[in-house]
Structure 1
Amino acid sequence: MSDFDLGGLLTFWGRRSDDIAELVLQHVAVVVLSIAIAAVIGIAIGIAVWNRPVSRSVTIAAAGVALTIPSLALLALLTPVLGLGWTPTVFSLVFYSLLPIVRNTVVGLREVPPAIMESAKGMGMSPARILLSVQLPIAWPIILTGVRVAAQLTVGIAAIAAYVAGPGLGQFIFMGLSSLGSRNALNFALTGTLGVIVLALLLDAAFVFITRVTTSRGLRV
């Protein structure tokens, strides 16, 4: 790979600005879509198993084992079934996002103080109302932390999904790796890598803001 040239990199960015902007938007879109789907599924699973010891243990263990599957291997296995592009990318990102979301949902719901639960029951609240009005608001910061961790995972794994023609900045990374020795190989790889890092930082900052805005004032640290 050629030596680093800052001027050349800046020139590369200027000439490829439209392509870079398009890939950034694709990367953001696939991450946001996947996290939204994973959050709905993961929180629902967490709610379903948090007070069932056997189901809870099996679910968290299964999600943990699933997380050990190499992302490239999973994408390669999905390609014959789901084809190339967005579909296998979204599926794999949702797949890897479930563990932190499910685990934090379970932890958050279980950490609601028993005294508060008993008080809610004493006020005549139904289990469903206790869940929606008491447990979820108290557990929300912990749940959102799980979503935040999942989002960081998906930003990185989305780059690897370029292996199956997935959208996003990974295309530049793979382009650079596949053209080692060429004039712009390092520029492609650096642009993709730096873009992923910046997106991860911006997404993390966004979750800090979302957590603050959506958490009850009495629960804010």
Structure 2
Amino acid sequence: MWDFLVNRQAQFLINGWNHAYLVILAVFFGTIIAVALAVVVTRLPALEPVANAVSAIGLTIPSLALIGLLLPLTGLGATTALVAVTFYATLPILRNAVVGLQGVDPTLVESARGMGMSEPMTLLRIRLPLAWPVILSGIRVSLQMCMGIAAIAAYVLGPGLGAWIFQGLAQVGGKNALNLALSATIGIVVLALILDVLLLLLGRLTTSKGVRV
């Protein structure tokens, strides 16, 4: 397999970069969507069961089925892959964001308002920083999950290492079938570990010592 990778090093790196870029972009969009929805849910507690149900049910939808439903709307290519991966990326982050925001001590929020902070300022300076460690845990789970889903998205010509996995499966019994599938799988695992370490470092840089303690 080493010789196989050396001969295809450039393509492997390109596929790896595209895979990581797709996942990072999807998780970024998913984080924005999830946090925005969580803010709404915490303002309207009656929506919490709905948010929990959507998170639970959404994760049970097979990724290939969702991709198939998206095809008539977005067609083959990166758009369908990004929409599908973003959908799955949002769900665990949403659940954690709701829990994190609900876990903020109400007395701190009231104190901030008493000091004259507006609602948006209270959210940005008090609620989100305190909820950030819980939200980040959801982001880490989301990123790991999306690594595998992004590979499946290659079925509709999405970018990334999944293309090699499908090529290997299509050439079962061929000379390089195992090398294609195995190298892509190992590459995805390595990428997942690297990005998880980077998220851990991000958490240490963006979480105050008081909150970590």
TM bucket (normalised to shorter chain) is over 0.9
What residue in structure 1 maps to residue 67 of structure 2?
75
What residue in structure 2 maps to residue 84 of structure 1?
76
Letter in 2 for 1:204: D
Query: Retained in 2: the 8 A contact 1:67–1:96?
Result: yes
Instruction: Name structure 1 gaps, 5 residues minimum.
Output: 1-8
What residue in structure 1 maps to residue 160 of structure 2?
168
Identity of aligned residues (%): 47
1:7-65 per-residue CA deviation (whole Å, 9 max, x = no partner) reads: xx111011010110110011011111111111111111111111322112212212321
Q: Using the alignment, how far apart are the partners of 1:47 and 1:118 within structure 2?
A: 17
User: Is 1:136 matched with 2:97?
Assistant: no
User: Is 1:158 matched with 2:150?
Assistant: yes
What residue in structure 2 maps to residue 37 of structure 1?
29
What residue in structure 1 maps to residue 44 of structure 2?
52
1:155-177 per-residue CA deviation (whole Å, 9 max, x = no partner) reads: 11000111111110001111111
What residue in structure 2 maps to residue 179 of structure 1?
171
Q: Using the alignment, how far apart are the partners of 1:26 and 1:126 within structure 2?
A: 41
**TM-score relative to the length of structure 2:** 0.95
1:165-196 per-residue CA deviation (whole Å, 9 max, x = no partner) reads: 11100011111111010111110010111011
Query: Retained in 2: the 8 A contact 1:108–1:139?
Result: yes
Greater alpha carbon shift after TM alignment, 116-125 vs 37-46: 116-125
**TM-score relative to the length of structure 1:** 0.92
Q: Where in structure 1 do 4 or more consecutive aligned residues deviate above 4 Å?
A: none
Greater alpha carbon shift after TM alignment, 61-70 vs 158-167: 61-70
For these two proteins, the number of residue pairs brought into alignment is: 213
Q: Using the alignment, how far apart are the partners of 2:212 and 2:20 within structure 1?
A: 28
SS in 2 for 1:50: helix
What residue in structure 1 maps to residue 108 of structure 2?
116
Q: Using the alignment, how far apart are the partners of 1:122 and 1:76 within structure 2?
A: 52
Letter in 1 for 2:162: G
Greater alpha carbon shift after TM alignment, 56-65 vs 121-130: 121-130
SS in 2 for 1:40: helix
Instruction: Name structure 2 gaps, 5 residues minimum.
Output: none
User: Is 1:94 matched with 2:71?
Assistant: no
Query: Retained in 2: the 8 A contact 1:51–1:110?
Result: no
What residue in structure 1 maps to residue 196 of structure 2?
204
Query: Retained in 1: the 8 A contact 2:27–2:90?
Result: no
What residue in structure 1 maps to residue 56 of structure 2?
64
Q: Using the alignment, how far apart are the partners of 2:182 and 2:2 within structure 1?
A: 11
User: Is 1:189 matched with 2:202?
Assistant: no
SS in 2 for 1:134: helix
Q: Equivalent of 1:146, from 138, 143, 148?
A: 138
